Amino acid sequence: MSDIKVKDLADTIRVSPEKLVEQLNEAGISVSKADELITEEQKQTLLQFLQQRHGVADGKDASPRKITLKRKSVSEIKLGGGSSRSGGKSVSVEVRKKRTYVKRTPDEAAATELLNQQQAQQHAEELAKQEQLRQQEVARKQQEEVDRQKEAEAESAAVAAAIEAEKQASEEARLAAEEEQKALAEEAKSQTAKKANTEKTEPKLSASQLAHKKLEEADAKRRAANLARVEAEKALEAKRKAREEEEALEKAREEARQATVDAQAKEQKTDRKDTDTRHGKDKPARKGRHDRDDDFERKELHVREGKAGRRKKKKAAAPQKTPVLETEHGFSKPTAPVVKEVSVPETISVGDLAQRLSVKSGELIKSLMGLGTMATINQVLDQDTAVIVVEEMGHIAKPVQENQVELALEVSEEQVGEAVVRAPVVTVMGHVDHGKTSLLDYIRRTKVTSGEAGGITQHIGAYKVETSRGEVAFLDTPGHAAFTEMRSRGAKVTDIVVLVVAADDGVMPQTIEAIQHAKAAQSTLIVAINKMDKPEANPDRVKQELSNHEVIPEDWGGDVQFVPVSALTGEGVDDLLEAISLQAEVMELKAPVKGPAIGTVVEARLDKGRGTVITALVQRGTLNKGDIVVVGQEFGRVRALFNESGQQLDTAGPSTPVEILGLSGTPAAGDELQVAPDDRTAREIATFRQTKAREAKIARQQAAKLDEMFNKMEEGDVKTLNLVIKGDVHGSVEAVSQGLQKLSTEQVKVRVVGSGVGGINETDAQLAAASEAILIGFNVRADNAARKVISEKGLDVQYFSIIYDLLDVVTKAMTGMLEPVYKDEIIGLARVDDVFRSPKFGDIAGCLVLEGVVKRSNPIRVLRDNVVIFEGELESLRRFKDDVNEVNAGTECGIGVRNYKDVKPGDQIEVFERVLMKPTL
């Protein structure tokens, strides 16, 4: 039935029933209560209505076109009036912001792009017009300057002429004054010349009068020249002041025009930046305390010269014109949401991603918490998480692969020659002590097991054997359960898996694991039933048990070859080699010999005299002495090549296991070996891989911190055994670490605080001392400096060569860390028949011992209706009037319970003792 109640649908989609009823009514579905039923068609109608409301049409993108962001910030303001000690009163101020962003369609984006291009073209035309006007203005100013200079020269010439005229007038006045003085002197000398002129003629002026008249005329001329000079200087000063005022006004106009041009340029720059952002040309945002939540360009606030410069120009004689105030602010808020195209690498920190999104780190962390991810600003996010959070914040994520540097290792088709037949790679697997290494030993006529501790192979061995049917590359893997990872690596590089099963032992746990690894690697399986020389050998039992794991023999109608062999006598070994050769011919194994070599690291170790030594299996191409190789996170030049017999080689072709010297460090078993074109490329690739591995490790550690914290809270007081493990080869160290960590229980956890390849050095000892760990050396020993630290710190050091002993010792150490366990064992039970009053001992219970024995020194429990009501110890134990230490079954006695006075007839007194039990994991 498709009908459903409104409240049930509200619970399913996690909204309130009232809101769902409101949405149904808005969609045209008449619903009044939450208990009403709605049909499937009505649900579809509601879905279409909600999609249309959010801007989603049929067949289009289902992502919302609108998103509303709400932000709330609370601050506190302290008011005056309070004492300094109390801090005064405080008022909480809450600011709420709400912004809605609309996602544009591709048509709208194209229209916006066209509009931006038109605006850019208009802006270019305006700039060209402004440049033309500016050039015209410059020419006009130059012409005005020339005219001004000519006018100033004319004014200066007029002033100079007035000054010269004044000088001439002064000189004439001086000469006139001298003539007047001479005339007066001459008149004083002529005392006798007083003749009366009787003739009636007009009187004539005397010489002194003429001189005085000339003097007056000269003074008048001098005053006129002086006045002309003063007028000329005043006119010149007035023009100079007028020119200064004009220059000030022009400067103010120029500043206003330049401010307008700058504002238009900044606005155009903002538009161009938004356009570039839409096209993915974004730049990382600036760091700092002024980062904004929105995608705005940073503006600078300047103080106009008209305001700040008034203080400096206050002393000017002429008043300056008030500059025009600009009403347009330099900060312009975008009218539409800015959608960025963010390049997301494989790993990126939260801080870097926030810069690329131009948001605060806190906003990004809040979004991550909303998605269920606890993160810090320095935490490294993987690519998938970063893409999700970028899309969640309304931007476009573009995943970027950062392994471009590794493309230099790719081999072109011209470098690869024609594929030729190669030797098969055979991996020998099976349970421990089923004869894998003994079988290989017989094939290659060497005693490999003689060099192994306890006759057990502790790490992978690679050998190339020359048989009558051609060459075969063998990989021998350990059979112990702790080396599951090592066997897994062996299965990944192999063509044929030879599963060795002891005829007298049958299928064991590691045999089943080997079958699983072979199937996972899709390798052909051949079963070698070993130890056929023993009387108790039963091959039919082996076939029956393997058939339960989908390994069907050929004679039973299956596709798996079963070959009975004996590694001790050599029986069936030729048949096994023939089966391998036949299977290889059927598989048509080929690999190119020409071109750079590609291989896989089988094992890696640190040799004291030769440095890093790796065992690698070349899978294609030819590895030459002197090649520059990249192996995982390490690189180096091949200084020497050795085969399994220790003989030096110059080249190694496909399906050839070799030992390589010359790497910069110890790679992990299973890493890929590739030949690089030059040393610089190899170094760059190795550095890139190390950086990526370090970032991934940090990401895992930070992601596990919160889980580890919660685990510690749940576990409570869980004991932890810290270990520092050093081994001879990388595979052994990894396998031992995993085997020890699997020993962890709910009571005791095993924690490997440090591990590595090589002997125990001083750093390892210091680490063990700081973490209170046990030092474990697997086929390695401590050097002199480490032994000194071990002696001073009193550290516990354990050396092992066989993993069985290592696991047993660690298990005992974990058992010793457990708290002692006590068990209550009931030894006697007595029934209370009556209670007597004693003035000395109080209430005495008259009891009959039903079973066991009642001892005075043991603790007791008082039971009433088979329920424990008191637990304590005896005050007294009497048989008649005598104090006794114990009373056996079937005997009456008097019992006084210490600090308990509520014993009643019918109660039972249970006597027990605490037995210390040996703690177990």
Tell me the HSE value of 690 on the side-chain side, using a 13 A CA sphere.
Answer: 15
657/451: higher pLDDT: 657
- The pair of three-digit structure tokens given for residue 375, joined into one six-digit string: 């993160």
Q: CA–CA distance from 406 to each of 184, 410, 471, 630, 677 (Å)?
A: 122, 8, 34, 10, 11
Q: Which amino acid is at 614?
A: I
Average pLDDT, the chain: 78
> How many whole angstroms separate alpha carbon 510 and alpha carbon 500?
11
Q: CA–CA distance from 14 to each of 372, 688, 766 (Å)?
A: 17, 46, 56
399/717: higher pLDDT: 399
Of 523, 466, 470, the residue nearest 499 (C-alpha): 523
DSSP code string of 428-452: EEESTTSSHHHHHHHHHT--SGGGS
Whether the pLDDT of residue 232 is over 80: the answer is no
Tell me the HSE value of 29 on the side-chain side, using a 13 A CA sphere.
Answer: 25
Whether the pLDDT of residue 84 is over 50: the answer is no
Whether the pLDDT of residue 277 is over 70: the answer is no
Of 333, 319, 323, 332, the residue nearest 303 (C-alpha): 323
Assessment of whether the complete model's pTM goes beyond 0.95: no
| Runs of H (alpha helix) within 493-555 | 509-520, 539-547
Q: Which amino acid is at 678?
A: D
> How many whole angstroms separate alpha carbon 722 and alpha carbon 774?
6
Of 145, 365, 355, 137, the residue nearest 243 (C-alpha): 145
Residue 718 pLDDT class (50, 70, 90 cuts): low
Q: Residue 315: its pLDDT value, please?
A: 41
Give the lowest-confidence range in 66-80, 652-666, 800-814.
66-80
Of 509, 519, 461, 463, the residue nearest 488 (C-alpha): 519
User: What mean pLDDT comes out for the span 121-141?
Assistant: 85
Torsion of CA 116, 122, 128, 132, to 10 degrees: -150
Q: Residue 630: its pLDDT value, please?
A: 92
Whether the pLDDT of residue 685 is over 90: the answer is no
Residue 640 phi/psi, 5° resolution? -160, 150
> How many whole angstroms separate alpha carbon 179 and alpha carbon 193?
21
- The pair of three-digit structure tokens given for residue 481, joined into one six-digit string: 């359960």
pLDDT digits (tens, 9 = 90+) for 732-788: 888 888 888 888 877 788 888 888 888 898 888 888 888 888 899 998 999 888 998
Under CATH, which number does the domain 717-816 receive? Answer: 3.40.50.10050
Whether the pLDDT of residue 424 is over 70: the answer is yes
Q: CA–CA distance from 859 to each of 793, 897, 899, 911 (Å)?
A: 45, 10, 13, 6
707/554: higher pLDDT: 554
- The pair of three-digit structure tokens given for residue 265, joined into one six-digit string: 């340029």
- The pair of three-digit structure tokens given for residue 582, joined into one six-digit string: 């036949």
- Positive or negative, the CA dihedral 573, 579, 583, 588 is positive
Do the Cβ atoms of 211 and 180 come closer than 8 Å? yes
Do the Cβ atoms of 270 and 329 come closer than 8 Å? no
Q: Residue 842: its pLDDT value, please?
A: 76
> How many whole angstroms separate alpha carbon 72 and alpha carbon 265?
35
Percent with pLDDT over 70 in the chain: 79
pLDDT digits (tens, 9 = 90+) for 301-321: 444 444 444 444 344 444 444
Q: Residue 486: its pLDDT value, please?
A: 55
Residue 283 pLDDT class (50, 70, 90 cuts): very low
User: What mean pLDDT comes out for the span 37-59?
Assistant: 76
Of 569, 512, 525, 528, the residue nearest 434 (C-alpha): 528
Q: Residue 64: its pLDDT value, please?
A: 60
pLDDT digits (tens, 9 = 90+) for 544-593: 888 888 888 888 888 889 999 988 888 888 888 888 888 888 888 888 88
Of 627, 629, 623, 631, the residue nearest 603 (C-alpha): 631
Q: Residue 505: its pLDDT value, please?
A: 83
Q: How many CB atoms lie within 10 A of CB 79?
A: 9
DSSP code string of 734-796: HHHHHHHHTT--SSEEEEEEEEEESSB-HHHHHHHHHHT-EEEEES--B-HHHHHHHHHHT--
Q: Residue 459: its pLDDT value, please?
A: 52
Residue 133 pLDDT class (50, 70, 90 cuts): confident
Q: Residue 292: its pLDDT value, please?
A: 40
The 10 Å CB-count burial string (b at 16+, else e) for 744-764 is beebbbbebebbbbbbbbbeb
- Positive or negative, the CA dihedral 650, 651, 655, 657 is positive
Of 421, 403, 414, 260, the residue nearest 345 (C-alpha): 403
Decide the pairing of beta strands 797-800 and 774-778: parallel
Residue 533 phi/psi, 5° resolution? -80, -10
601/284: higher pLDDT: 601
Enumerate the β-bridge partners of residue 349: 380
Q: CA–CA distance from 477 to each of 65, 110, 466, 527 (Å)?
A: 60, 64, 20, 15
Whether the pLDDT of residue 385 is over 60: the answer is yes
> How many whole angstroms separate alpha carbon 855 and alpha carbon 909?
12
- The pair of three-digit structure tokens given for residue 202, joined into one six-digit string: 């007009």
Which amino acids are annotated as binding site for GTP, given as ranges? Answer: 430-437, 476-480, 530-533
Percent with pLDDT over 90 in the chain: 9
Do the Cβ atoms of 465 and 443 come closer than 8 Å? yes
Q: How many CB atoms lie within 10 A of CB 416?
A: 16
User: What mean pLDDT comes out for the span 476-500?
Assistant: 66
Whether the pLDDT of residue 617 is over 80: the answer is yes
Q: Does residue 289 sit in helix, strand or coil?
A: coil
340/282: higher pLDDT: 340
Which amino acids are annotated as binding site, given as ranges? Answer: 430-437, 476-480, 530-533
> How many whole angstroms separate alpha carbon 72 and alpha carbon 74?
7
Rounded to 5°, angle at Cα 497 from 492 and 501: 130
DSSP code string of 163-206: HHHHHHHHHHHHHHHHHHHHHHHHHHH--S------S--PPPPP
Do 423-588 and 821-917 fold alike per CATH? no
Q: Which amino acid is at 341?
A: E
Residue 294 pLDDT class (50, 70, 90 cuts): very low
> How many whole angstroms separate alpha carbon 476 and alpha carbon 604?
15
Q: CA–CA distance from 295 to each of 96, 264, 389 (Å)?
A: 19, 19, 17
Of 655, 231, 642, the residue nearest 422 (C-alpha): 655
Q: Which residue reads 């001439």 in tokens?
A: 168
Q: Residue 859: its pLDDT value, please?
A: 92
pLDDT digits (tens, 9 = 90+) for 498-555: 999 998 888 888 888 888 878 877 788 999 999 888 888 888 888 888 888 888 888 8
Q: How many CB atoms lie within 10 A of CB 99?
A: 12
pLDDT digits (tens, 9 = 90+) for 154-172: 777 777 777 887 778 777 7
Whether the pLDDT of residue 196 is over 60: the answer is no
> How many whole angstroms separate alpha carbon 761 and alpha carbon 724?
11
Q: How many CB atoms lie within 10 A of CB 810?
A: 21
> How many whole angstroms separate alpha carbon 706 and alpha carbon 712?
10
Domain ranges of the chain: 4-66, 108-186+207-323+333-339, 423-588, 717-816, 821-917
Q: Residue 405: its pLDDT value, please?
A: 66
Residue 189 pLDDT class (50, 70, 90 cuts): low
3-state helix vs strand vs coil in the chain, percent to 5: 40, 25, 30
- The pair of three-digit structure tokens given for residue 810, joined into one six-digit string: 């660690």
Q: Does residue 155 sit in helix, strand or coil?
A: helix
Give the lowest-confidence range in 87-91, 560-564, 679-683, 722-726.
87-91
Q: CA–CA distance from 469 to each of 498, 523, 577, 581 (Å)?
A: 17, 21, 8, 7
Q: Which amino acid is at 267?
A: E
Decide the pairing of beta strands 859-864 and 867-879: antiparallel
Domain 423-588, CATH number (from 3.30.110.40, 3.40.50.300, 1.20.58.760, 3.30.365.10): 3.40.50.300
Of 449, 437, 511, 507, the residue nearest 474 (C-alpha): 437
Do the Cβ atoms of 512 and 549 come closer than 8 Å? yes
Q: Does residue 309 sit in helix, strand or coil?
A: coil
Superfamily classification of domain 821-917: Translation factors (2.40.30.10)
Q: How many residues are there in the chain?
A: 921
Write the CB contacts of 730 (distance below 8 Å, at least 6 apart in sequence): 603, 604, 605, 666, 667, 668, 669, 757
Q: Which residue reads 């190669």 in tokens?
A: 422
Of 473, 475, 484, the residue nearest 512 (C-alpha): 484
Q: Which residue reads 């012409």 in tokens?
A: 143
